[in-house]
Structure 1
Amino acid sequence: MTTLSVRPMTPPEFADWQRELARVYSAEQVAAGRWAAEGAFRRALDENAASLPQGLDTPGMLLLKGVLADGTVIGRVWIGLEHPRGTPDCAFLYDIEVDEPHRGRGLGRALLTAAEQAVAERGVGALELNVFGDNASAIGLYGSAGYTVITQQMRKQVRP
């Protein structure tokens, strides 16, 4: 496995990431049928701002970049050290992403491992996440990394 480290995001990285995160998140919500396309990007921006009211300085949040030994930034991680539903001793992985040019080389697993280490170093015993059902590669990664299904939402279209 490739070794990498994580470091805090810089303010410019944070600003760029907020727009990209909102773009991707809103598209996922629309594709999943949870949100209407109209206004989805603004809604994603607003939800992220509510979750990070002090931006990079929001207490209890880890906003990190994954970095290779040569200094190459390959992705990002957003972790809440307190679970959003109050699960004790459990952090929550809001976002993990390997940048497109670095995919397919095992860096997702390395970034996930670094994120888990960052959580453990802060004294939290577990890490939970959500993954969309159509994201087979992420589901495979998390399963092979030891994550188990805790709850599962299912949906069936009942009208044409």
Structure 2
Amino acid sequence: MTTVTVRAMTPVEFDEWQTAIAEEYARDQIAAGRWSADGAVERARDENTARLPQGLDTPRMLLLRGVDADGTPIGRAWVGLDHPRGAPDLAFLYDIEVLPSRRGSGLGRALLAAVEQATADAGAGALELNVFGTNAAGIGLYESAGYEVSTQQMRKTLAGGSPRAETTEE
């Protein structure tokens, strides 16, 4: 079995991650049709800053670096110990990622297990996450790790309609 442990991110790792996660999150939101490309990275940075107002020192947040048995960084994770919608005893996994050069060798499953243990050690009774419907690898990983669908959003583009139609109230 692949061994992965987690430790707190260093300030340098946090700064690098802030840039990368904003770009990745913006790409995901654009691909999902939720945001336009214009200003998406700035919007992602703003959302992350709102969730992490004290950066690396924001209370009730786990900002973790996954490392292999040799101590080499292999990935990262971000867990909020308080659910964003206030659900009791439920932590939220905002981000988890294995470095692209290290994917495909079981490290994702091992990192997820290490993150789950760190979250349980911090006192959370359950962990929730969102995964985009187009992320087949992620969905497969989470299902095989025992995650179940708790909510689901669905979308259909209507013929003759605009998927970005705006409504106004007077």
Structure 1 length as normaliser, TM-score?
0.98
> What is the alpha-carbon distance in structure 1 between the residues aligned to residue 109 and residue 88 of structure 2?
25
How much does 1:159 deviate? 3.3
> What is the alpha-carbon distance in structure 2 between the residues aligned to residue 9 and residue 107 of structure 1?
18
Residue 136 of structure 1 corresponds to which residue in structure 2?
A: 136
How much does 1:138 deviate? 0.1
Residue 148 of structure 2 corresponds to which residue in structure 1?
A: 148
Residue 39 of structure 1 corresponds to which residue in structure 2?
A: 39
Residue 74 of structure 1 corresponds to which residue in structure 2?
A: 74
Q: Which secondary structure does the structure 2 equivalent of 1:127 belong to?
A: strand
Quote the RMSD (CA, aligned, Å): 0.7
Taking the TM superposition and a 5 Å limit, the aligned residue runs for 1:1-160 are 1-159=1-159
Provide Cα deviations, 1:82-110, integer angstroms capped at 9, x if missing partner.
11111111100000000001000000000
Structure 1 unaligned runs (5+)? none
> What is the alpha-carbon distance in structure 2 between the residues aligned to residue 88 and residue 51 of structure 1?
18
> What is the alpha-carbon distance in structure 2 between the residues aligned to residue 89 and residue 3 of structure 1?
28
The runs of 4+ residues in structure 1 deviating greater than 4 Å are none
Provide Cα deviations, 1:67-124, integer angstroms capped at 9, x if missing partner.
0111110000000001111111110000000000100000000000000000111121
User: Matched residue pairs, number?
Assistant: 160
Amino acid at match of 2:80: G
Amino acid at match of 2:131: V
Structure 2 unaligned runs (5+)? 161-170
